[in-house]
Amino acid sequence: MNKQEEKIIRKADWTSPSNIAFIKYWGKCGNQLPSNPSLSMSLKNSTTRTIVSVIESRDKPAFQFFFEGFKESTFDKKIDLFLKNAYNFFPSLQNKSLKIESCNTFPHSAGIASSASAMSSLALCICEIAEEKSSNYLNDAEFYRKASELARLGSGSASRSVYGGFSTWGKTSLLENSSDEWATFLDFDIHPVFSKLNDTILIVSSEPKKISSSEGHQLMNNHPYAKERFKLAHKNLECLLKAFQSGDTEEFIRVIENEALGLHSLMMSSDPAFILVKPHTLEIINRIIDFRKKTGLFLCFTLDAGPNVHLIYPDSIKSKITDIINSELLAFCENRKVIWDEIGEGPVRFTSENVKI
C-alpha cells in the first residue's frame, strides 16, 4: 500500500488550551507526580489543535508527526515516550499506526510554552480513539480524568489543560477528589470579581530557553529550599482558595506574585543556578507595581518558566490596562509583541469527518 492509499480507520480531533499557573508546580517525584499541588487558569486563545488518525499501514507500530502541515521529527522522542505511556493505558492501540497532525494558534517562537496544550490535545485524541475502539464508553468525568492522567505523563502542567476555568493538580486536604495522578476542575463558587480574568502576555523574549522545565524540576530534588517551598505552595493554595471565595483581590495579588517571584528565586538558588528573567522582565514588573500603587487597580503579574510577563486583571478594566501597555510597557517587549488572552472554557472536540488543518 503506498502513501496515497493510506486508509484512515479512526480519527479524533481536539483543540486544547494552554494554561497559566497561579500556584506553581515546580519539582516532581515518581512517575511525573508533583511535589506540591498547583492551580491554573485555562486560556481561551492560546490553543493547540491535534488530529490523530489510526491508519492502516504495513509498518506497524509507527507514528508520523506533522506540525503545522509539515513532517516534523524534533518532537519524536517526546511523542514516542508519550505513546509508550498511552499503550500501558490502552494496550489495544499498541500495534496501530498513528498519524498525528498538530498546529498552534500562537506562533511557535512566541515564547509561550506549548507543551500543556499540545500534550492535553494529544491525550484527549488518544482517549477518544481508545474509547471508541473498545466501545467502553466512559462518562464525561471519567473521560476527562483519564485524559488528564495521560496528559500528565507527557507534561505535568498539561494535566490541568483538559478543563476550562480553574483547575488544580496535586493532592491537597483542601480539595476533595484532588489527586497527584490527575487534575480536577475547581468546582466551588468563585467570587464574581474573578469570573472574567484576562491574561495579557508581554513577550520579552521568544528565544528558546537554555534550561528546560524538566531540567528545572530535576534541580528541585537537591534544592536547599525544597522542603519549605513545598510547604509554602500548600499555604499559598489555601490563601488563594480563600481569596477566590471571599473576593479578596489584595490577597489574590499577594499570592500570585509571591508564587511568580518564588518560582524564579528557586531557579536562581538551584545548583547549578539559572536565570530565565531578563532586565526587561524586571522593568515591566516594577512598572506594574508602581502603576497599581498609583491607581489602586486590580492588576497583577505572574511568570511562567521564562522571561515573559503575564498580566492578570479583570476584563472590566481592560481599556485602562491597554493604555498602560501601549504607553509604557510595549517598549520593553520584543518587537512590541503582546498576546491577548483570557480565561477559557477548555478543550473542544471536532466531530466533522472533513476537517483539515
Region from 24-32, 61-69, 196-204, 290-298 binding ligand PMV, contact rule CB under 6 A: 24-32
Nearest approach, Cβ of 274 to ligand PMV (angstroms)?
13
Contact set for ligand PMV, span 46-65 (CB under 6 A): none
Among 16, 18, 25, 325, binds ligand PMV (CB under 6 A): 25
Nearest approach, Cβ of 265 to ligand PMV (angstroms)?
13
Q: Which is nearer to ligand PMV, 93 or 237 (CB)?
A: 237
Contact set for ligand PMV, span 266-325 (CB under 6 A): 304-305
What's the chain's length in residues?
A: 357
Among 115, 236, 281, 302, binds ligand PMV (CB under 6 A): 115
Residue 156 binding ligand PMV, by CB under 6 A: yes
Among 35, 36, 120, 155, binds ligand PMV (CB under 6 A): 155
**How many C-beta atoms surround the C-beta of residue 193 within 10 A?**
17
Assigned C-alpha cell, 56? 492502516
The residue assigned the cell 507595581 is 289
Using CA atoms, how far apart are residues 351 and 337, in angstroms rounded to an integer? 34
The amino acid that residue 292 corresponds to is: R
Nearest approach, Cβ of 55 to ligand PMV (angstroms)?
30
**How many C-beta atoms surround the C-beta of residue 142 within 10 A?**
12
Q: Which is nearer to ligand PMV, 17 or 156 (CB)?
A: 156
Q: Which is nearer to ligand PMV, 195 or 214 (CB)?
A: 214
Chain-centroid distance of CA 17 in Å reads 7
Torsion of CA 50, 35, 201, 341, to 10 degrees: 50
DSSP H or E run through 132: helix 115-134
Give the residue from 338, 312, 313 showing the smallest Cα distance to 325: 338
Cis bond leading into 61, ω under 30°? yes
Q: Answer whether 261's CB lies under 8 Å from 290's CB.
A: no
Coil vs helix vs strand at 79: helix
Residue 24 binding ligand PMV, by CB under 6 A: yes
Region from 18-26, 51-59, 96-104, 128-136 binding ligand PMV, contact rule CB under 6 A: 18-26
Nearest approach, Cβ of 318 to ligand PMV (angstroms)?
24
Q: Which residues bind ligand PMV (CB under 6 A)?
A: 21, 24-26, 38, 113, 115, 155-157, 213, 263, 304-305
